Every structure is written in structure tokens, then in C-alpha cells.
Structure 1
Amino acid sequence: MIAKIGKGSNMYGAILYNQQKVEAENGAVLLLNKIPDTLDGRYSVAYFNKCFEPYLSANIKTEKTVRHISLNPDPADKVSDEQFTEMACEYMERMGYGNQPYIVFKHTDIDRTHIHIVSTCVGIDGKKIPDDYDHPRSMAICRDLEIKYNLNKATEQEQKQDNKIFKPVDYQSGDIKSQIASVVRYLPKYYSFSTMGSYNALLSLFNITAEEVKGERNGQTVNGLVYVALDENGNKVSNPFKASLFGKDAGVAQLQKHFEQSKEKMKTNPARAVLKNTVELAMHTTNSEVEFKKQLAEQGINTVVRRNDSGRVYGITFIDHQSRSVWNGSALDRNLSANLFNEWWSNGNKPELKIQDRPVSKTNTQDDVPTKDLFEFIPQEHSQSSDLGLFSLLPDALGVDYEEEQFAKKMKKKKKGRRL
């Protein structure tokens, strides 16, 4: 079993993320700790958020007061709701959060059923609960829970996945070609993006841009692609590298196939509705571009804004690391076009949106159609630029994919073993 500990400042967003899983019948509320029950067993984000307010307001010095934790067993493990509840209680008690208010949500939208725990690190007395050495303590607890509940043990390689992340290109450190290769060879395997523009938006997080090159060879038109490294300001700082240097997945032909496959996949991706609601909530609860981007970043979403020479916003792209999908604003929803954000950030005309606070049922739900495209991202310490602009990066979001890859590989090996 693998645990992910997310630390942030947006309690409402953390609760909303889990509520939307329940509303989509891809989750359930398993346990409320130190949170009053209701007569009808139904709750809302506003209700949950209000229960945490006395704790959050007791300490105004601590910036990252929210703890958003996920416990992820192996896909082969069959864990009952009762066992998930017991594991959550033991984990929180041993991590020092046993007397804190927390909510345990079960997620069933991917093959690997798992739980999320939303809590706070601030006690009712206003003191911050020490979180030194959280990671090693969490790993030790997971190993004990594996033994106690007869779960498949996470391999040493899986335990080290958090340290395996795609890194942005640093042109000053040299060997730019290898740095670019470590990114472009693998991004199409993990992310859905349907246009060259959305691909470049994703690449921009890694200080890379891709440019199409057209020419003729033997009287026939030839399309190619080159990759160039960028500095922190988006300026080109390297010679162009041909896509052929990085394998077929980085070339035009394969990318075109990827665009088409992504279009079909994204049509039915349930993450679209969740992302749309999350973006609209950020618009409703923030007052500037910087605040807007920061709030989304805390939920694993990068915002890439494109402006022309006069400063007008002509494009906006949302990179959702939770669902590994890249959406242009207008493709996500026609009401989220670049013009709307330009009116807000350039002209001060903030759009008025009505955010509905729908109730959450505590009733457990069945995993009807697991969505393999979704994976779980719990943001930890983000690496953000000072203006939270084009090159803001959430490295942990990318590292999670290795964990998913290891699970998949292990399952494939088991299937091959059965055939022998």
C-alpha cells in the first residue's frame, strides 16, 4: 500500500474534489471523525467546511493547514469498507491526527479502489501538529497495515516512486538533448491532448516548445517537428533538435494519431465535468489571476495563459494532472473562453457564476464502470515561480504516473504467469 500526503491551504477545494466523486457515483463517505452527524445522513461541502472553521481560524500563522491524504492498496487487494475505515483510523491515530476532525472518502473511479482523508494539521487550541518526518512515519505505518490486513506489499521500487519525477529543462546544467528526451519520449504515454497547441502548453511546464517544420523532399511535402529548450521567461535558449532523435512517439505522425485518440477519449472523460466545476469555483472565490492560478495549482491543475504583444489574452489551457488531460478553455466549456478571462484580468469585468452547493449522500455506491484514465494526484510542496505564470510546475503530479505504471506492469506479469 502506498500513502500520499498532500499539504495545502484550500479546505473547500479539497472537500469539493471528493464530493464530486460521490455525486458522480464514483465514491462514498465512509467515516466522519469529530464531525457532527446529521439527521438524514446528507451533507454539503459548506457543512463540512464549516465544521473545520474553528480549527482553521485558531491559527492564522500556518499557511498550509489542510491535509489531504490518500491510502492506495495494490489493485489485487480486496479491501472492505470496514477494513478501509479501520485502516484510516489507525493511520490517522499514529500520524498524530486521531483527535482531529477528518472525513474518509472511498474512491471507485479507477481499478484501484482507495480512500482519501481530508483533515487539518491545526488543533482546536490553535497549535500546529508537528509534521516532521511525515514521510518515513507514513511508510512505516503502511508496512504494518500490509501485514495486519494481509495486503500485497509495495515493492521497494514502488516505495521510491515519489522521487521519480519529470523535471523541467535547465539549460544551464548542460546536456539539453538528454533533458528534453526524458520528457518528450514519455508525455504522450501519460497525458491526453488533442491539438499541437495543447501539447505545447503541456511542454511549456518543462521549459520546452515544439515547432512544426515544413519542406519538400523529392517533390513531396514533408512535415517535421523540432524541439527547443526555453528559459524561465519563455525565450529559446538552444538549437532545435529533430523529433527523430527522441523516438517515433515524439514525431508528427505519431502525435497526430495521439491527437485523434485523445479527442475520442476526452469526449467521455468524466473528469471534464469535475474540472469545469473546479475552474468555475476558482473564478467565484478568487479576485485576481495570481489567486486563480494558485487555487487551481493546489488542486493539481496548471493554467497556461497565452497573450499577444499588446497583453490581450487570446488563449487559456488547463492541465489537469488528476486526469492526465489537457483542455483549452473553450473546449472545456464555451463559457470558459479566453475572451472571458481577458475581460476579467485586463478590463476588470469579473464574470458572475452561480456555484451550486449540492448535498452529498453518505450512502455507499457501487463501482459500475471503473475509469482507467483517471489517476490520483495529491499536491504536496509545489515548485512555483514568483508570478505563478506560464512556467508554474507541479512536479509531484508527474511522479505519480510511475506508481501507476508499476501497478500495471506487475499485473501484466501476473497474467503472463498464469498462462504458463
Structure 2
Amino acid sequence: MVAVVKTGRSIHRVFNYNENKVKEGKAEIIGAGNYPFDPEKTTVNMRLNRLIRQMELRPDVAVNSVHISLNFDPSESELPKEKLMRIAESYMEKLGFGNQPFLAYQHHDAGHPHLHLVTTNITAESKRISLHHIGIHKSEPARKEVEKTFGLVAAEGQKNSMATGLQPIPLGKVNYGRTESKKALQVVLENIVPDYKYTSLAELNAVLRQYNVQADRGTEGSRIYKTGGLAYHILDAHGKPIGVPIKASAFYNKPTLKNLESKFTGNDVKRMPHKSRVKNAVDMALVGAKISLQDLVKALEKQGIHVALRQNDSGLIYGITYVDHTTKCVFNGSALGKQYSAKAIQERCTVAVKTGQHLAGHAAPVRKGLQPPPFTTAAETKSTSHVQDAANILDTLMQPEQASDYMPRELKGRKKKRKNKRNNNNL
């Protein structure tokens, strides 16, 4: 069994995630711990309010929601619900959450059986259960004991089955028309918005655009812009919006402009330790002989760093953003330092992009002032050199020896002395 513990600030988000899976027929609620009623016979609001009431006992605690997934070996797909519930209760007891209210959902949307548990770390006595290193210090020992007690396949040594069976489904690009727009956008937003560290809407879009999604405030004079609204578009293969945009408030995790902006300052602090990784990757790629901008982009992609270029209508690159998928940090070029800005990076690279040429995944990157010289033959080069030399010699011979307003230093000195002499005679 593999146990994954995630903590957060929004019980609504994790609760709605599981309840939406139930509505879609991809999950079912199989039980609850420390609830005064059978959750299967209650409404959604009743299930949620039980958790919220307990969390309200400590409004000063920001991180107060816990989302746990218990993942079993594919060979254990026939485990009955009653046993799964006993496993969940035993695990929660050993984790130190034995008296906490929790909901248990069995999901059916993966190649292996697994449970999702939703709970809070706020106790009925208004105390807070520490979540510091909960995965290492509490979850791992609890998992091992549960495996032995119920005879489950151990997580250790299961490289062929468990490791393969528990690989997460890679997040793919949204293709308009293939799936319902809101559902497709929701999947991307719930994987990107809470996890990546960005400090502006432009930096967030540098990530979202890789999945054919874009957050849009509207034009400056539009109603949505004036009211501080935000909508999400699906993009086509050319990066253009397609279909009807959906308001941010329509998604259950509420990725509104206000909520995004509240994360900017905190994200700036969180991403600070990871700046050096991106800077070092860029510097290492540019060590030695100069490489082209295309080669730099490819080299960074191998390090898990996506390069997003911003260009104007004429194709001039005026901005660059680095998206580090390993650390989930996003940096505008200037945030890393002057030498990592769009202008500096182009100067550090060789000239390899011509006007109108496109880089893969980017729109017409044209580097002003760095276009290569026109191609000439050796004979033409030699002939041009002789003509230029002759022109230079002729220019030199035709120049006057002195400027028209030139005056010898000696004359200037005598004039100054005579003036001084006259001044002395007047005394």
C-alpha cells in the first residue's frame, strides 16, 4: 500500500474534488469516521458542514485540511468495501487522527484500487494536530503496520507492479471539442493554480498556455476588466482563443483574480531558493562556444525548464519566462537578473533566427539587431574589400590637415599674456 498525505488551506477544494468524482460516476462514498450519521443517507452540505463546524473552532489556523490517498496493488482490486473501510479506520488511528471526522471515497478512475480520505487537523477540543513531517514521521510507520495487519502487498520491493500501476496520468493539452470545456479546464486549473509558484498573471499564463489554456482579464476598457473579473479560454493550435470563455468563479476551486493575487507575494518568497537552479541551467547551456536560441530552448527542456518567449506583432522578442516543472517555479527573465532577460539572452546566443522564422512552440521570434550579414562569395568579399580600402585612402587624403577654426597654441598664449600686461598697466 502507498499512502500520500497532502495538506492545504481549503477543505472546500478537496471535498468538492471527491464529490464531483461521485457525480461523474468515477467514485463512491463508502463510509465516514466519527460522523453522527450514515454519510450515504445525507446531503452534500450535511457532509461538508460536519467538517467546517470543527474547523471553525480554530479560525486562526490557516492550514487546516488534510487529503489522503491510500493506493493498493492492482492485484488487490477485489477488496470488499467493508475491509477497505476497516483499513481506512486503522490507518487514521495510527496516524493520530482516530478521533477526527473523515469521509472515505473509493475511486474507480485509475488502473489500481485506491481510497481518498478527507479530514481536518482541528480537534473537537479546539487543538491543532501538528502536520510537520507527517508523511515521514507518522504516515510511513502507520502504513507499514496496516500492511502487516491486513496482509496487504507491501510498498517496498514492488517496482514492477506498484511503481508501474501508480504512475500518475500525465496532464495533457486541452483540445477543444473533444471533452466538455469546463471539465477539461478544471483538470488543468486544479493541477496548476495551487501548485505552481508564480507572481503575476503573465507568469501563470506561461504555464497554462502549455496546456492550451489562458487566463484573460479582457481589454482595458471592458466590463470584466473594470470589475476585476477573470475568464479562462481554451486555445487552438495557433494559440488563439476558441469557444466560449468560462468565468473563474464558475470553477469550484475559485481561481479568480483576487485569489490569484493573494498568492503572488507568498509565491515570490517560496520560489527564492529555486532561482539558482534555473540560472545555473542557463549558464551551463551557454558555457563555451555560443549556441543558437533554439538550441538553448532544447537544452533547458531536457532539464525540465520550459522557455516561453513573448513577441510583438512584427515578431520581435521582448520578453522571456522560464517555467521550471521540476520545482514548479515560474520566473520572468528580469526576476533572475539582467543577464537572463530577453535582450541579454539573445546577445549571449548566436544569430540563428531570421525575420519571419518561427521557433517550435513560439511565435515568430525575431531578434532585432542580431540578423546575420548577407551571404557573399569569396571573390565578392575580396573585391568589396579592395574597393573599401581605396575609399578609405581617398577619404584620408581629401581631409584637411587642420580644422578651419584651428589656432596654434603659441598664438593663444601670446594673446593671453598681452591681455594680462594691459591689465597690469592700468593698475
Structure-2-length-normalised TM-score: 0.46
Higher relative contact order (CA 8 A, sep 6+): 1
Structure-1-length-normalised TM-score: 0.47
